Chain A
Amino acid sequence: MATFKVNGIEQNLDIEPEMPLLWALRDELGMTGTKFGCGIASCGACTVHVNGSAVRSCVTPVSAIEGQEITTIEGLASVAASANPSAPDLSAVQQAWIDHQVPQCGYCQSGMIMAVSSLLATNPNPSDAEIDSSVTNVCRCGSYPRVRKAIHSLATA
């Protein structure tokens, strides 16, 4: 039995300990906001938070997150709201993504938003070089210039 919390709700799943968290979320829990991109932790489409830090769920077996707190894109806003009850519905990062019209096809953006949220939690005003080294997600639509603008808008807000 694998036991962990997803967006504040405890989950007990009768699954193999080596099943990656990505597939536990998508196929066992039906939470499809977290995306499959490469399966080898290269592209970042599957990024979630484990105890608040960005992790690539496609190579993270559920045995490695036993008893831990997982946040997915579906829960990002509510996690942000519980930290700051007066905040609007969406997390600041998600709102910046709308303000700057960042997503195109949008498929990579769940992972991109989770990666950026994790970066900003520890480094609220990252330099371009820091953004480059910590946001390594692949976006085939090329939203990178807008991702950068959106991050800087959050840093200076």
Chain B
Amino acid sequence: MKINRRRFLLSSAVVGGGVLIGYSALKPSKHRRANAELAKGEERYVTSFIKIEPNNSITIYVPHSEMGQGVHTSLPMMAADELDAAWEDISVEQAPAIDMFANGELVKGFAGEFGVPGFLTGIINASAFSVAELMNLQTTGGSSSVRFTGETSMRTAGAAARQMLVECAANRWDVAADECNTQLTHVQHNASGRSLSYGELAADAALLEPPENVTLKDPSQFTIMGKAISRVDIPAKVDGSAEYGIDAQSEDMLYAAIRLAPVFGTKLISVDAGDVLSRRGVKRIIELEDSVAVVADSYWRAKEALKLVKSEFESSDADTTSSADLFAGFERSLAEDNSSKVIEVGDAEAAMDSAADVIEGNYTVPYLAHAAMEPMNCTVHIHDGIAEVWTSTQDALGIKGRVAKIAGLSEDDAIFHHSYLGGGFGRRLPFNWNVIDHATLIAKEFNVPVKTVLSREDDMQQDYYRPAVASNFKAAFDANGMVQAWHNRFTGPIQTPGASHIPYAIPNQSIRVVDGDTHVPIAAWRSVDHSQQTFFTESFVDEIAHRSGKNPYQFRMEMLSAHPRHRKVLEVAAEAAGYGQNLPEGHALGIAVQESFGSIVAEVAEVSLDENNRPVVHKVTCAIDCGWAVNPDTVEAQVESGIIYGLTAALYGEITIENGRVAQNNFPDYEMVRMNDAPEIEVHIVESGEELGGLGEPSTPPLAAAVSNGLYILTGQRVRELPLKNHDFSRSTPIAQV
């Protein structure tokens, strides 16, 4: 990644003699504008990130949302380490939702991989946005925060600030800068025994131009990075004081319960509210184009009243559509094969024609809801020509613009209030805006704050879903049993370019996508296309291994000679899991590996069947190469989290469509892994020293295949459809292990 650091480093004085130092993807002119428009009195805004005050306290502004991934800790660790500050002197604040805190590095980072990430591609298609504006996002997604904002912005800002403070101290002491060193928020001159705190130097530092060349530390010099630092957000999350979007409150607040069109995309025709308006606390019945809402002085009163409101929605072509119809459509699409190229290597079709043997497998996965624990909600207060918004979001700037647009205001007249997120997983990314839009339209009718909350049932039925995918795989073998060709046809759309690629040395490959559009709205879901594709590819690779008469682990190792990082994580996970050694009676191990978001993850799942022949996952042993670990404990926590999220999907996850609408309502029919299902998880961090990889998502993709591959050994049944709850494993014949 080539970065012109000089151009984007900025510094400025703050009230009381401190300094703000930052780094941004924005042009300096934006900062001049920010200063002109936002600064009060002697206040000066600089792009971002680090504020040093005379009392030696340091504030680090984080431009990403905290949704449990620990980014409010790991990003400040990166800045503080390069700054050579004592961690105790650091406090952390969420950067305000104004465009000078935009994190366009995310986009630049992805551009180096496979192009713009899938969860952002809608922006390019939306006329309201341009590619240039894409750089001004404040999005948290794509396992990107530490990789891109951290590496390019946080560390650079910290290192630049340190160099400026050293220069000030050297000037004051009239010594050479290279005679000075820094530690624990002080600059020292060892030859003379002098020392100055950063706070004592901050006012002078504010007068300096940021350095042209910034030198980042070698990992051997790290004092904070690489340590398991406790997360700054946890204390508030154990005493009930952490505020989420749904916790916004005010004395005069009103609450809206809303019924959205049950069949996606249909319009409201009529409403019969009966005498609902006479109920206690009920203020208004609001009819919108595609929904009806009750606004009351408590959410419960609004929700109870809405149950009594009758409504009719227009009919639609989708009214009789079921999941079976959608999958039949996928099958037709696969059979017609009007496909677009993803990868063509060699001549896979010719290899199929001349093969000694061909195996085939049709794989499918269903739609999935995100089911974040905090139901979707948004509070909007439109008053005095401005719109204030409180909501848990992965994209504060985007929400601000959206609310302003729906409210008919300019973006500058919208104010965003940050909160923690009660889970994101992709649901709270740009364009998944149904709640935001409706909350704004409802709030336009009042001059007090209105909090719109989706019930769990609405949250589940009005999501933007992980796409259902159907696929057809074939593999061709020569007379020696060597795999010669790989064929994958799958239904789109593609949200994550590269997810269907395989690292294995198969000489002929044909990977193509066919149309898979339906009326069901879709979005990114933790790990995006990797969650479906890795289940397919790592299961089918397992089929190939067994057909080749090879042990699935050994087969992968042989086929990955060009990918030493993949081999290493496989080796570490297999050894730690006791792969190839004796297991308890009735247990088996399944293995899978996948690279996603810059990290490579191998997982070994130890599985058995319970007395009712239901799958049990006892333990998942995981090895992850994420380059290196900024905070090993949050790395482990994210890996654990992604595995549990993947396990819920593998065991239970299934959104079905009946009569055009989602059939599931709440957790009883969209079940979750709980304590009783949760396996022991062992995480091994493999530090390759390569560029940082992402962490929020990469442990999710391999899980379903690892579990299914283990179940194949245990039962002889190849799982080609998820979830596992739909499979009958009662007639099992363990296969002979190679």
Contact = CB atoms under 8 A, between A and B. Distances in A.
Interface of A: 16, 19-20, 23, 26-28, 30-40, 42-43, 45, 72-74, 76-77, 90, 94, 97-98, 101-110, 113, 131-133, 135-148
A69 B240 CA distance: 18
A103 B637 CA distance: 9
Given A104-B68, A106-B242, 12 more contacts: A36-B375, A42-B668, A94-B238, A102-B238, A105-B373, A105-B374, A105-B424, A107-B373, A132-B675, A141-B644, A141-B645, A143-B641
A33 B675 contact: no
Given A27-B255, A39-B456, A108-B373, A32 B239 contact: no
B453 interface: yes
Contacts of B249: 30, 32
B678 A145 contact: yes
B241 A23 contact: no
Given A34-B240, A42-B667, A140-B425, A20 B234 contact: no
Contact of B455 (A39, A142, A148): A39
A98 B678 contact: no
A27 B298 contact: yes
A101 B234 contact: yes
B205 interface: no
A101 B230 contact: yes
Given A36-B246, A138-B667, A140-B425, A74 B237 contact: no
B262 to A, nearest CB: 18
B720 to A, nearest CB: 26
A90 to B, nearest CB: 7
A103 B298 contact: no
B230 A142 contact: no
7 contacts: A23-B299, A33-B241, A40-B668, A74-B240, A103-B233, A137-B675, A144-B673
Nearest to B237: A106
B674 A32 contact: no
Contacts of B723: none
Interface in B355-378: 371-375
A69 to B, nearest CB: 17
A113 B667 contact: no
Contacts of B239: 33, 73-74, 76-77, 90, 94
Nearest to B236: A106
Contacts of A74: 239-241
What is the interface of chain B mostly: helix, strand, loop, or mixed? loop
Interface string B14-33: 00000000000000000000
A19 B300 CA distance: 7
A105 B422 contact: yes
Given A30-B249, A42-B666, A107-B422, A23 B240 contact: no
Nearest to B248: A32
B244 to A, nearest CB: 6
B674 A136 contact: yes
A-B pairs, 7 with minimum CB distance? A33-B240, A142-B644, A104-B68, A107-B422, A106-B237, A105-B68, A73-B240
Contact of A98 (B235, B247, B300, B640): B235
Interface extent on B, as a size class?
Answer: 35 or more
A140 B300 contact: no
B451 to A, nearest CB: 9
B650 interface: no
B477 interface: no
A35 B674 contact: no
A109 B68 CA distance: 12
A23 B68 contact: no
B640 A146 contact: yes
B373 A142 contact: no
B638 to A, nearest CB: 8
A27 to B, nearest CB: 4
B255 to A, nearest CB: 7
A118 B249 CA distance: 29
Contacts of A34: 240
Contacts of B300: 19-20, 23, 27
A31 B241 CA distance: 9
B421 A97 contact: no
A37 B375 contact: yes
B666 A38 contact: yes
B420 to A, nearest CB: 7
A142 B678 contact: yes
Nearest to A148: B675
B633 interface: yes
B243 A138 contact: no
A145 B680 contact: yes
Contacts of A104: 67-70, 637, 641
B226 to A, nearest CB: 16
B373 A138 contact: yes
A33, A72, A106, A137: residue with the most chain B Cβ atoms closer than 10 Å: A106
A138 B238 contact: no
Nearest to A72: B240
B480 interface: no
B681 interface: yes
B632 to A, nearest CB: 11
B436 interface: no
Contact of B675 (A30, A94, A147): A147
Nearest to A107: B422
Contacts of B456: 37-40, 43
Contact of A144 (B231, B298, B674): B674
A109 B237 CA distance: 7
A135 B68 contact: no
B240 A142 contact: no
A139 B648 CA distance: 11
A138 to B, nearest CB: 5
Given A39-B455, A146-B637, A107 B674 contact: no
A129 to B, nearest CB: 8
Nearest to B425: A140
A106 B241 CA distance: 11
A27 B231 contact: no
Contact of A101 (B231, B423, B667, B680): B231
Contacts of B645: 140-142
B672 interface: yes
Nearest to A96: B238
B610 to A, nearest CB: 13
B373 A90 contact: no
Contacts of B241: 33, 74
Contacts of A108: 373, 422
